[in-house]
Amino acid sequence: GAGVSQSPRYKVAKRGQDVALRCDPISGHVSLFWYQQALGQGPEFLTYFQNEAQLDKSGLPSDRFFAERPEGSVSTLKIQRTQQEDSAVYLCASSEGTSVETQYFGPGTRLLVL
Amino acid sequence: DQQVKQNSPSLSVQEGRISILNCDYTNSMFDYFLWYKKYPAEGPTFLISISSIKDKNEDGRFTVFLNKSAKHLSLHIVPSQPGDSAVYFCAASMDSNYQLIWGAGTKLIIKP
């Protein structure tokens, strides 16, 4: 069965460039989460959607980061004016509910900002 | 300040022996703990969890132990198999909230 997919898998951006990262969750999953994982660290929560509603964006590091899920399925994480410290793996996860146990993760998008 | 710490970046264990992965936390408000397993180029997958009302949870070859007074938990894998080679993350939450605080991970290598 189809799991969570993310695209692109790798992205190289020049500093100052805008990037958009896509997440296709498991069909029917209500909840969608974005995480940022820096090299050698564990994932850090960025934001949470329930259907199309962004219920929690407390983890977004700055106003350069913006996420949307307009139709309650596919989500896009946008980073404007990228900086070198934005280099990380961005993970998306989806779940039927909000339980931490039932989050299914995608393979991530590795972003490198030069 | 890291609230969840995995102090061993890597661990090498002989196939068939026991693997013990450790995790320490600082926030006494954490009441739910999870272990995730991650293979290269894949996302983390949930492995096993434990609530703070328990001190042990077992699932097949995997057992998680929680010592609340020491703010320490461990994952035991017995017997270790080559397919267990992966990075293991410990994570914690308050009120089973979806916001997890993750450790930095331990890379487990099972030697044949």
The whole-number average pLDDT for the span A5-33 is 96
SS3 labels along chain B: CCCEECCCCEEEEECCCCEEEEEEECCCCCCEEEEEEECCCCCCEEEEEEECCCCEEEECCEEEEEECCCCEEEEEECCCCHHHCEEEEEEEECCCCCCCEECCCEEEEEEC
pLDDT digits (tens, 9 = 90+) for A43-81: 999 999 999 999 999 999 999 999 999 999 999 999 999
Question: What local confidence, expressed as pLDDT, does residue B55 receive?
Answer: 94
Residue in chain A nearest B40 by alpha carbon: A107
Rounded to 10 degrees, the C-alpha dihedral A38/A41/A42/A47 comes to -30
Question: What local confidence, expressed as pLDDT, does residue A98 receive?
Answer: 75
The whole-number average pLDDT for the span A2-29 is 96
Q: How far is A14 from chain B (nearest CA, A)?
A: 23
CB contact B40 to A (< 8 Å) = no
Question: What local confidence, expressed as pLDDT, does residue B96 receive?
Answer: 66
pLDDT below 70 — which residues of chain B? 96
Considering only CB atoms, A100 lies closest to which of B45, B93, B104, namely B93
Nearest to B87, CA basis, from B38, B15, B48 = B38
